[in-house]
Structure 1
């Protein structure tokens, strides 16, 4: 595949069930090769505004296998009689949201991200010198 046709991002829309609510929320999951360690989960608000949460791709992988995360983002897989679910709990002690996603959809999203940057190969697609230069330049007044 030549450089002009290479796919460098994946996006998938999916619904989430907000704990205690009947109406599902539209979410958008995004992955880009220029930020290979991160996954963006965006949540649509009724106002049309999107709220973005940046997650570690490794955390998402770990959360599919068992409870994972500390701090503002915690993931827990579980199964009930009908569904295999990944619970994504975002927030802190003062307020949080518990979102439930179909695990198969999350797994398919991750598989698509692995086609862009293989798991474990994230550091090979980052130009460390360029990133250091960006940080250095942003600190100069």
Structure 2
């Protein structure tokens, strides 16, 4: 008999926080989706004149997380408030966002630290409600088994 696996976004939970602003639990309400992407290439090749290849192993766990929230949601309003806070606050507050994402059915947890907003998102207005894309860069993203 063939095996199978199941997936449900409702099993995924997350908490975004800032030490001075507070935290917000993401459990589906007003959440469209989110995506985690690492930004650092882990290897590079240098080719010598004789064709010898030098392979470099490169460290770096930085990356970005895109959070798509419904434009009328509490999540979008909270992120807008956080953006407004860190923009007005002392520069030392800027890269203090952290995000923990847990997907227990998949056995994964992501710990993202040193986060800051890329920019204030575009705000759509049209006949049907839309999602707002919040993009954050994180200095360190660790993917760990639960």
Q: Same fold (TM over 0.5)?
A: no
TM-score using structure 2 length: 0.29
Question: Higher strand fraction: Structure 1 or Structure 2?
Answer: 2
Question: Higher helix fraction: Structure 1 or Structure 2?
Answer: 1
When Rg is computed on C-alpha atoms for both structures, the one with the higher figure is: 2
